[in-house]
Chains A and B, each alone.
Chain A
C-alpha cells in the first residue's frame, strides 16, 4: 500500500500537474497552427512573459496590502491573462500580420516567430535578470497531507498550487469546449481550421477569428506559465525546455486538433514522470530474488526532458498526423 501511495505522489500527482501545464500550452500552439498554419516557437516565451506579469501583479497586490486565502499568484491570474492576451494581439499586429499581408510562405512566419522568441527572451532577461524567483517569498506554500484510515501508511501529499493547476485546467478545457462548439466565433475557428478559403467565402470574419485565436492562445499561455511558476519556480530561461515538450504534446495529439493537444499534454506529462520513476520500489514489499535490480527506472533522471523529445520524434516518424488526425502545413 505504501508503495502505491508513493507511486501516486511521485507519478500520478506530479504527472497530472505537469500534464496540465503542457496541455494548456499545447492548446495555444495547436490553435495557432490550425488557424495560421505555422509552428509558433515564441509560445514558451509568451508563457514566461505571462508568468512575469503575474509576478509583477503579485508585487502590486502585496504592496497594496491585499491578503487572500489563496496564493496571490492565482488571484491575479485573470488580470495577467488579459494583459498577456493583449500583448499577444500586439505581437501579431506588429510582427506576423505585416508578413501575412505580404503573402509570404508559412515557413517565413515560423522564422519570424523565432525572431519574436529571441526578442521576448532578451527583453525579459534585460529587465528581470536571469535569477530564479518564487511566488511564495512572502506567503506560505500550503502542502496538504491526506492520511488514509489505514495504520502505518504514508500520507498522500499534494500542494495547493498542484490542486489549483489541475482544477483550473479542467475548468479551462470545459470553457474552451463550450466556446468552440457553441459560440459563433468558436465555430468560425473550427471552420477556418478545416478550410480557410471556404470559411472566408461563407462569410466568416477571418480577421476576427485570428484575433480570437491570439486572445485564447495568449491567455492560456499566461495561465500555463503562471501555474508552472507557482508549482515549481519562476525561471526567465524556460524557453526551449518548455516549448519543445509542448510541441511534442501538440504533435502527439495531432497539430491543429485542440482536444488532441490536451490528451497529448497529459500523455507527455505522465510519460516524463513514469519513465524516470524507479519501478523496483513497487516490488519492495515482496521477496524478490537476489539478482533483481534495485533501480528499474527506464531512463536516468537527467534525461527526463529527453523523453518528451524522443516521443516527439517517434510520433513524427510513425504517425505524423498524431493520435487524432491533425492539419497539414
Chain B
C-alpha cells in the first residue's frame, strides 16, 4: 500500500514537471503556492471531517477570516485613521459590545429552575435586543466617520508571517464561538448551520467597509518574502529571473510551513489523541460512555481544523496581494476543499495532501483545457456549417464547476474511500 502511495505522489511530481513544460516555470510556481495553501486547508478539513467526522461546510468563512486578518496585520498603517477620532469611537463601540455581552451573559446565569425560569427566555430576547441596539448606536457613527475621513482602518504594518499566525488565531477564536453553539448538532443540521454561518461571515466582511474596505478591495497586501521588485532592486536585472526567485522564496516558506504542520498532525494522528478522535467519530455514544468528553474533544478539533484553514486563507490572500471579499464563492472555497479530501481520502493526511495539490491543479488546468476543447468543437461545428460557439472563454470558466461536480459524483460512486484511503492500524500489523 505504501508503494501505491509513493507511485501516486511520483505521478503528481511528473504532472507538475509536465505543467512546467506546458506553461512556464513561474506560472507553475504560482500554481504550486496556491496548491500547497489549499493542501493546508484540506488538512484542516481532514482534521475536522476525517479525524472527527464533523460536517463543516463553512470552510469559506474561515478562509475569509484568515484573509481579512492577514490584511489587517500586514497592510501599512493608515495615518488618516489613527489621527482621526476613529480609534476612540471604535474603542467606545468595543466597550458597548462588551457591556452588551455582559448583559446577555448575566441573563443566561438565571437558573433554568426557580422563580425566574419562566421569564428567562423572554429576558434573553430583551437582553439580545438591548445589546444589539447599544452596539449599533456606537458602531454606526464610528463606521460612518472612518469611511468618510479615512476610507478604512488600514493595517498595522507588521510582517506578513505575523499576519498568517493572526489569521489562524482569529479563525480559531471564531471557530470556538461557532463550535460552542453549533456542535450539538449532527450531520445534515451541522452542515446547514455551518453554511449559514459562513454566509453570515461573508456578508459581514463584504459590508463592513470600515474594517475591510468591502467591495472596494484592499491591495497590495505585502509578501512575507521579497517581492519580484525587491529582488530586482537587490541586483537581479533579468525580470523573469526576479519573478522566478521571488516566487520560489514564497513557495519555500509555504512548503516549509505545510511540512512542519503535516509532521505534527501525523504525530498527533498516530498517537493516543488520534485514536481517541477516531473512536469519537465512529461511535460518539460509546466513546462518551468510556469517559471521553465528546463535546470538549470535538470543540478542540473543530478549532484546530479552523486554525489551519485560517492560515491557509491568509496565505492565499498574501500571495495574490489582494483582499477581495466578493471574490469568495462557496464553490471555489468550500466545495473544492471537500472534493480534495473526498478524492484524496478522508482520514488520511497523505490523502488530504495529495488531494489538495492534485485537485487544485486539475481545477486550474480545466479552464485552458476546456478552452482548447471548445475551440476544437467550435471549429468542427463551423466546418459542418453550424456556426462557431459564442463566448468560448466565459463558457470555459463554467466548465470547471461542471468538472468538479463530475469528480465528486465519480469519486463517491467508484472510490468512496478516496485515492489514498484511511488505514486503520491494528495491534497485529
A contact set with B: CB distance below 8 Å: 33, 38-39, 95, 98-99, 104, 106-108, 110-112, 114-123, 125-126, 129-130, 240, 244, 247-248, 251, 255, 300, 302-303, 305-306, 309-310, 312-313, 316-317, 320, 329
Contacts and interface: CB of A to CB of B under 8 A. Distances in A.
Interface stretch (B193-201, B263-271, B349-357): B193-201
B412 A99 contact: yes
A126 B402 contact: yes
Given A111-B342, A115-B412, A303 B203 contact: yes
Given A39-B192, A240-B199, A309-B196, A116 B405 contact: yes
Contacts of A303: 203, 207
Q: Determine the main DSSP class of B at the interface with A.
A: helix
A211 to B, nearest CB: 21
19 contacts: A114-B335, A115-B405, A119-B401, A121-B402, A122-B400, A122-B405, A125-B395, A126-B402, A130-B394, A247-B196, A302-B203, A302-B207, A303-B207, A306-B203, A310-B200, A313-B200, A316-B196, A317-B184, A329-B186
A21 B409 CA distance: 29
B207 A114 contact: no
A112 B399 contact: no
Contact of B395 (A99, A104, A126, A248): A126
Interface string B225-241: 00000000000000000
Interface in B144-192: 181-182, 184-189, 191-192
Contacts of A123: 402
A124 to B, nearest CB: 8
Interface in B390-421: 391, 394-395, 398-409, 412-413, 416
B233 to A, nearest CB: 42
Nearest to A126: B398
Interface residues of B, number: 44
Contacts of A313: 181-182, 193, 196-197, 200
A297 B137 CA distance: 13
Nearest to A316: B193
Interface in B288-330: 330
B188 A106 contact: yes
Contact of B413 (A99, A106, A130, A248): A99
Contact of B188 (A39, A104, A118, A120): A39
Contacts of B330: 240
B189 A320 contact: yes
A118 B207 contact: no
The 6 closest A-B pairs by CB, nearest first: A122-B402, A118-B405, A115-B408, A119-B405, A122-B401, A125-B398
A110 B191 contact: yes
B200 A112 contact: no
Contacts of A119: 401-402, 405-406, 409
A99 B414 CA distance: 10
B416 A104 contact: yes
A247 B192 CA distance: 8
A115 B409 contact: yes
Contacts of B182: 313, 316-317
Contacts of B189: 251, 255, 316, 320, 329
A112 B408 contact: yes
Nearest to A117: B405
B331 interface: yes
Contacts of B185: 316, 320
Nearest to B402: A122
A297 to B, nearest CB: 11
B196 A312 contact: yes
Nearest to A105: B187
B338 interface: yes
A320 B193 CA distance: 10
B55 interface: yes
A38 to B, nearest CB: 6
A300 B398 contact: no
A129 B391 CA distance: 9
Given A244-B199, A316-B182, A316-B185, A251 B192 contact: yes
A148 B270 CA distance: 76
A129 B408 contact: no
A110 B408 CA distance: 11
B401 A112 contact: no
Contacts of A108: 412, 416
Contacts of B331: 118, 121
B395 A110 contact: no
A157 to B, nearest CB: 29
Nearest to A306: B203
A247 B186 CA distance: 16
Interface in B202-237: 203-204, 206-207
Contacts of B403: 122
B412 A111 contact: yes
B199 A306 contact: yes
A42 to B, nearest CB: 10
Given A122-B401, A309-B200, 13 more contacts: A115-B412, A120-B405, A122-B400, A122-B403, A251-B189, A251-B192, A255-B188, A303-B203, A306-B204, A312-B192, A312-B193, A313-B181, A329-B189
Given A111-B342, A316-B185, A39 B409 contact: no
Nearest to B195: A244
A158 B335 CA distance: 40
B193 A112 contact: no
B401 A317 contact: no
Nearest to B198: A309
B187 A300 contact: no
B196 to A, nearest CB: 4
A110 B203 contact: no
Nearest to A243: B195
A300 B140 CA distance: 11
Contact of A112 (B55, B335, B409): B409
Contacts of A118: 331, 335, 401-402, 404-405, 408
Contact of A125 (B191, B401, B409, B416): B401
Nearest to A95: B409
A99 B409 CA distance: 10
